[in-house]
Amino acid sequence: MGRSKIIPDRYGKEIERIKEVSAEMIGDCMQCGKCSAACPATGGMDILPNQIIRYLQLGRVDKVIESKTLWNCASCFTCASRCPRNVDLARLMEAVRLIVVRKREASKLKAERVPEIMADKRMPQQAVVSAFRKYSK
């Protein structure tokens, strides 16, 4: 991963928002790597799960947002179950995704679009209901 320099206050608001939304303590992670070792989705990730937390600890929200890992996380909570410090990485990833999606005002899901989305038979109904609940506000 290499050395990174902390960027003071550049992404301070985003980090605080991520902490608020996820209710997780990013600083509790001790970088043991158990989350990365247990994750079944690392094959499609460009940054390992423990590296995501490290970038957040360093205030590098930009690196997290630019990564494929953010969208490839299966939210299976395997990482959370293996963490010796009880840091729930899946909740952190969901918080970052939620903040990214809410930043893009145009990506809010409207009720009129649900039939169009459901026309795709591969789309799970649970995903549409969950997206509508999360992204309609």
pLDDT digits (tens, 9 = 90+) for 26-41: 999 999 999 999 999 8
Residue 71: pLDDT band (50, 70, 90) is: confident
Range 66-74 average pLDDT: 86
Name the packing angle between helices 12-22 and 89-103 (round to 10°).
Answer: 120
Q: Topology of 12-103 in CATH?
A: Fumarate Reductase Iron-sulfur Protein; Chain B, domain 2 (1.10.1060)
Q: Is residue 109 scored above 70 in pLDDT?
A: no
Pair 128, 114: CB distance under 8 Å: yes
Per the model's pLDDT, the better-predicted residue between 94 and 127 turns out to be: 94
Question: Which of 31, 14, 3, 8 minimizes the C-alpha distance to 96?
Answer: 14
How far apart are the two ends of the chain, measured CA to CA in Å? Answer: 37
Residue type, 93: M
Range 55-68 average pLDDT: 90
Residue 9: pLDDT band (50, 70, 90) is: low
Cβ count near 88 (within 10 Å):
19
| Residue ranges per structural domain of the chain | 12-103, 107-137
Q: Is residue 51 scored above 90 in pLDDT?
A: yes
Q: Rounded to two decimals, what is the model's pTM?
A: 0.70
CA angle 116, 73, 24 (to 5 degrees): 110
Residue 106: pLDDT band (50, 70, 90) is: low
Ranges of beta strands (E only) in the chain are none
CA distance 14 to 61: 7
Q: Is residue 126 scored above 80 in pLDDT?
A: no
